[in-house]
Structure 1
Amino acid sequence: MRYREFWDLVDDVFGRAYGRSIAGDQVLEQLGGRTAARAIEEGVEPRAVWHALCDAMQVPDAERWGSDPHRQAPPR
């Protein structure tokens, strides 16, 4: 997953305003107490950040990949 894809998924799954808010505010224990935005800035693999954010927000696996029917779920 690329950084652009991460942010596209944030916008698609959570909505742009809410998604950007939780990415910047929600502290994620899976990421060492960092926010998703901070983890991305610090070079953490976007796929790991995405799964940590979805886990914290209890997003079901079936809904994690947004509305694009061609998007493939990358392996964990």
Structure 2
Amino acid sequence: MRYTLFAKLVHDEFGQAQGEWILHSHVLAAHGKTANELVEDGEDLKQVWETLCDDFRIPAERRLGQDTDK
């Protein structure tokens, strides 16, 4: 996953401002670090996204982003 897709998924799900806040302040339960720290450490972006989804109980049908074919 590229960072642009990761950022889009975060912003689509949480909104721009709240998404940015979550990335730099929410400590992911499974890792003990924020998403931004994990990204800086070179962690797989798909795994970081999945962990965010788990922490915030995002249902499976919303984990792939918004449908833009409309």
Q: Following TM superposition, by how much is the alpha carbon of 1:67 offset from its aligned partner in structure 2, in angstroms? A: 1.2
**Structure 2 alignment gaps of length 5 or more:** none
- Structure 1 moving runs of 4+ over 6 Å: none
In the alignment, what sits opposite 1:64?
A: 63
SS at match of 1:58: coil
Once the two structures are superposed, what CA deviation does each residue of 1:30-71 show, in whole Å capped at 9, x if it has no partner? Answer: 2x200011101110000000000010011001011221356x
RMSD: 1.3
Distance between the aligned counterparts of 1:13 and 1:29, measured in 2?
19
Counterpart of 1:28 in structure 2: which amino acid? L
Distance between the aligned counterparts of 1:25 and 1:64, measured in 2?
21
In the alignment, what sits opposite 1:7?
A: 7
In the alignment, what sits opposite 2:20?
A: 20
Counterpart of 1:12 in structure 2: which amino acid? D
**Structure 1 alignment gaps of length 5 or more:** 71-76
Equivalent pairs, count? 69
Q: Percent identity?
A: 41
